[in-house]
Amino acid sequence: MKITGLILLWLWTATTAWAQTNQSWTICRNPVRVFPGRATVDLTPLFQWWARQPLVITNTAADTNKTPESERPLTAWNRVTGIKVGTLASSWVVDAIIYSSPTIRTNARIILNHPPEVEEATFDNLRSQLNDTEQQLANARRVYQDNTNAEAQAQAVVAIYRRSLSKVASDGVILNSRIAADRHAAAATALIQMDQLEATRDQLEKQLKTIPSVLGAYRVDWFAVELGRTKQGVLIYDLGLVSATPP
């Protein structure tokens, strides 16, 4: 029983550390948030403070979840990262890890208002495009290989005819030379398509790396504000509407 508990603790700690340090996306993004009534909040001071903090994970309990520096701005705002497990009206229910600093966090199920639906949809669309591109690339590689093999076979037949003393050797050389040329052209076309598809794949993968995900599934990873109230006993956070323009 003790060993099982240690294994679960290790897995939980490893997953938490991964979420904190092994992502390729930028967590401090889109600092300006807009709320009903056009109120705006600029998270730039918090992002600047966050960048100055150490990156060593600790296992601080929720009741001692204090920030390491007293001057932390916007204390109601925390990094919220986790998996959507359901919806509640227009909000998401998220099994979240909540960071008050890069080194201090706690786990909680939360309700997230103004969830990142556009980002999730963008991620799903990019994943679908990537899957389609990978399939097309596999088909192009197969076509290229088939035509390359067929060209080599036709050229081998041409060589046999040229070495033979048969009366039909000339016709055989002409026919198989034409086949080899056609197959070469088809392979060249497939090669061009492969290059284009590989470029498309690389671009899609680059775009996907900017969006939070774990094992190919979208993951919430945004700064959100704790509203100080609950619904059905669940804490409510609000991401706000994202604005690309400073207030």
pLDDT at 51 over 70: yes
User: Which amino acid, residue 26?
Assistant: T
Structural domains in the chain, sorted by start? 2-117+215-243 (no CATH), 121-208 (1.10.287)
Decide if pLDDT at 174 tops 60: yes
Which tens digits make up the pLDDT trace of 237-246? 999 999 765 5
Q: Determine the Cα–Cα distance for residues 3 and 9; give it in Å rounded to an integer.
A: 10
Angle between helices 117-163 and 169-208 (to 10 degrees): 160
For the record, the structure tokens of 215 come out as 């094992």
Instruction: Name the range with the highest mean pLDDT among 69-73, 93-97, 213-217.
Output: 93-97
Q: Give 214-237 pLDDT, tens digit per residue.
A: 999 999 999 999 999 999 899 999
pLDDT at 57: 54
Q: Three-class SS of residue 239?
A: coil
Please state, as a whole number, how many other Cβ atoms lie within 10 Å of the Cβ of residue 202. 11
| Distance separating alpha carbons of residues 238 and 51, to the nearest angstrom | 22
Q: Which residues contact 210 (CB under 8 A, 6 or more apart)?
A: 24, 25, 26
Q: 68: which DSSP letter?
A: S
For residue 52, give the 3-state DSSP assignment: coil
Reference 141, options 201, 90, 71; nearest CA is 201
In terms of Cα–Cα distance, which of 241, 247, 16 is closest to 116?
241
Q: What per-residue confidence (pLDDT) applies to 9?
A: 37
Which whole number is the average pLDDT over 91-113?
96
Any residues with CB less than 8 A from the CB of 81 and at least 6 apart, and which?
A: 19, 27, 96, 97, 99, 212, 219, 220, 221, 222
pTM of the model: 0.79
DSSP secondary-structure letter at 5?
Answer: H
Residue 69 confidence (pLDDT): 54
pLDDT band at 61 (very low <50, low <70, confident <90, very high): very low
Q: What is the mean pLDDT of residues 66-94?
A: 88
DSSP 84-137: EEEEETTEEEEEEEEEEETTEEEEEEEEEES--HHHHHHHHHHHHHHHHHHHHH
| pLDDT score, position 79 | 98
Whether residue 20 is predicted with pLDDT greater than 90 in this model: the reply is: no
Give per-residue pLDDT as tens, 120-135.
999 999 999 999 999 9
